[in-house]
Amino acid sequence: MPNTSDFDPLKLRLLPSIDQLLRTETATKLRDQVGSQRLTTLARTVTDQLRTELQSGTNGSITKESMLLEATQRLDDAANADLATGMRRVINATGVLIHTNLGRAPLSEAARQALAHDVSGYCTLEYDLTTGERGRRGGRVEDLLIELTGSEDALVVNNCAAAALLVLSVFADDGETIVSRGELVEIGGDFRVPDVMATSGTRMIEVGTTNRTKLEDYRKVLNEKTRLIMRVHPSNYRIVGFTSLPSLSELALLAHEHGVPLYEDAGSGALVDLTQFGLGDEPIIRESLASGVDLVTFSGDKLLGGCQAGLIVGRKEFVGRMRKHPLYRALRADKLALGVLEKTLNAYRRELAETDIPLLRMLSISAEEIRTRAEKVIEACVNSSSNELTVELVEGESAIGGGAGPNTHPRTFLIAIKHRLLSATELQERLRASNLPVICRVAEDRALLDLRTVAPEEDEQISQAVSSLSK
């Protein structure tokens, strides 16, 4: 309990006024960064804290000058903490390629250029330069999706959950949608398939068991109320062992016999075969459509390597119905997303995805390449570090993340850091507090850095951040 018996009311006179605090050199510098109103709010908070501490008798010997100095420092700390809550660039050294908390897939250089120059100002979002008349929003992106997937038509909305909601709302809100019980998954961010289905207005009809669903299970429940058969890729959830599911072509034949569409939510989805990277169980969109699926939805910011978006491809008559639906206007993508997607898809069209798309480039890096880079970083750290810091190379595994390839763990080499006086968590916190924050992972009381998810041009900043831990 604070000792209030020692409180001297005259000490409150030593507190700086709000006006005095806001006239300091520190406050003047902070004003442009946080704004006058916010700075005033922070100044009031700081002086209230100091007043409480004075009243509790916890400040010891103080003067007007020391109080002003303390208040100024606290104002600076509060403003910097406030600024740190906004989005800023970080170095992802976790080894998780599609890191949801860190923005998922990094954009290609061409996509970044599009954001900086092509679509950040006025642009041809819905304007045809040839005719001078209104154009089709996202027309170029849709054309590229059609070409790359072999679909009849395409549509872009703001994320994959929105794409699923649009499909279900347009085609099944007045009836039933059949789905295997083993596909009723929850994906990151509390995205639950049953919840999206309920929101759309369709009635969910579960068939089969958790691990085995047969074609006959679907056939038994088909009736005049059936509007869709839905296949859901399980994302980061896998059932192994005694399992079975009908193929897409079998489901398509059954659906079409009964005059209902087959819809696949492919999750991450892939435009190209990623088997060489251990991702052979991720749906290839072109193959799904070739199997007879009528509509496929997938994400733009996962295995595709672009930005957040829900991509819808499939039969022209079905996509056309969604384009005309009022819900589409609420869910459609903006010019920034469309600009990024255009450049990302263009890399696939030019067959340069593996070199131009950062995600695919990171997947293709060999463990030996990472080892070579890591050894150079360690050498630089050792040369500038004290004896209290131990930096060494250890073998490890990267992760795909984003709900893709949960059983795929590319071999890698890790920079393992230990400190004689600091715990691994404290090392992690210090790296996170760097001028350019470095995000790592912790295991076995060591801070671990995986350069697979670090751009080569960021290696020097990694060296500097690690070296600073010994100071």
Question: Could you tell me whether strands 310-314 and 295-299 are parallel, antiparallel, or unpaired per DSSP bridges?
Answer: antiparallel
Kindly tell me if the per-residue pLDDT of 17 is higher than 70: yes
Q: Which pLDDT score, from 0 to 100, does residue 281 have?
A: 83
How far does CA 220 lie from the centroid of its chain?
40
Give 338's contacts (C-beta < 8 A, 6+ positions apart): 119, 125, 137, 138, 140, 141, 156
Tens digits of per-residue pLDDT, 242-267? 778 899 999 999 999 999 999 999 98
- Nearest-angstrom CA–CA distance, 54 and 42: 19
Q: Are 368 and 66 in contact (CB under 8 A)?
A: no
CA angle 380, 107, 289 (to 5 degrees): 135
Residue ranges per domain, the chain? 4-83, 91-99+363-470, 109-356
Structure tokens at 223: 């009736």
Tens digits of per-residue pLDDT, 355-411? 999 999 999 999 999 999 999 999 988 776 677 899 999 999 999 988 787 888 999
Q: Are 119 and 339 in contact (CB under 8 A)?
A: yes
How far lies 204's CA from each of 172, 225, 238, 264, 332, in Å?
Answer: 10, 11, 22, 15, 26
Tokens 């030019």 belong to 350
Domain covering 91-99+363-470, topology: Aspartate Aminotransferase, domain 1 (3.90.1150)
Q: Which amino acid is residue 409, in one-letter code?
A: H
- Nearest-angstrom CA–CA distance, 407 and 394: 21
How far lies 200's CA from each of 92, 181, 459, in Å?
Answer: 37, 19, 47
Over residues 338-366, the mean pLDDT reads 96
Element (H, E) at 18: helix 18-22
pTM of the model: 0.89
Q: Are 307 and 111 in contact (CB under 8 A)?
A: yes
Kindly tell me if the per-residue pLDDT of 84 is higher than 90: no
Q: Which pLDDT score, from 0 to 100, does residue 442 have?
A: 96
Kindly tell me if the per-residue pLDDT of 241 is higher than 70: no
Q: Which pLDDT score, from 0 to 100, does residue 56 have?
A: 80
CA end-to-end span of the chain, whole Å? 37
Q: At what angle do helices 64-83 and 25-34 cross, to 10 degrees?
A: 20
Helix (H, G, I), strand (E, B) or coil at 144: helix
Read off the pLDDT band of 58 (50, 70, 90). Answer: low
Neighbours of 404 (CB within 10 A): 25
Read off the pLDDT band of 417 (50, 70, 90). Answer: very high
Tens digits of per-residue pLDDT, 27-47? 999 999 999 999 999 999 999
Tokens 């492919």 belong to 266
Taking domain 109-356, whether its CATH number is 3.40.640.10 is answered by yes
Q: Which pLDDT score, from 0 to 100, does residue 2 have?
A: 46
Kindly tell me if the per-residue pLDDT of 227 is higher than 90: yes
Tens digits of per-residue pLDDT, 316-326? 999 999 999 99
Kindly tell me if the per-residue pLDDT of 12 is higher than 50: yes
Q: Which pLDDT score, from 0 to 100, does residue 437 have?
A: 95
Q: Where are the alpha helices (DSSP H) in 205-357?
A: 215-221, 248-257, 285-290, 316-324, 326-331, 335-349, 353-356
Neighbours of 397 (CB within 10 A): 14
Question: Could you tell me whether strands 91-92 and 438-439 are parallel, antiparallel, or unpaired per DSSP bridges?
Answer: parallel
Give 62's contacts (C-beta < 8 A, 6+ positions apart): 11, 14, 54
Q: Which pLDDT score, from 0 to 100, does residue 233 have?
A: 87
Positive/negative CA dihedral, 406, 411, 415, 421? positive
For 87-104, the DSSP string reads ----EE-SSEEE-GGGTS
